[in-house]
Amino acid sequence: MTPREAAHYRVLRLIEEQPEISQRELARALGVSLGKTHYLMKALLEKGLVKANNFRRSDNKLAYAYLLTPSGIAAKLELTRAFLRLKEDEYRGAREEIERLKKELGDHHA
d(CA 84, CA 11): 16
Contact 37, 23 (CB under 8 A): yes
Please tell me the pTM assigned to this model. 0.75
User: What total of structural domains would you count in the chain?
Assistant: 1
Share of the chain above pLDDT 70, in %: 92
Instruction: With a cut of 60, say whether residue 110 has pLDDT above it.
Output: no
Instruction: With a cut of 70, say whether residue 49 has pLDDT above it.
Output: yes
CATH number of domain containing 68:
1.10.10.10
Give the total residue count for the chain: 110
| DSSP-based three-state secondary structure for 1 | coil
The domain of 76 spans: 3-109
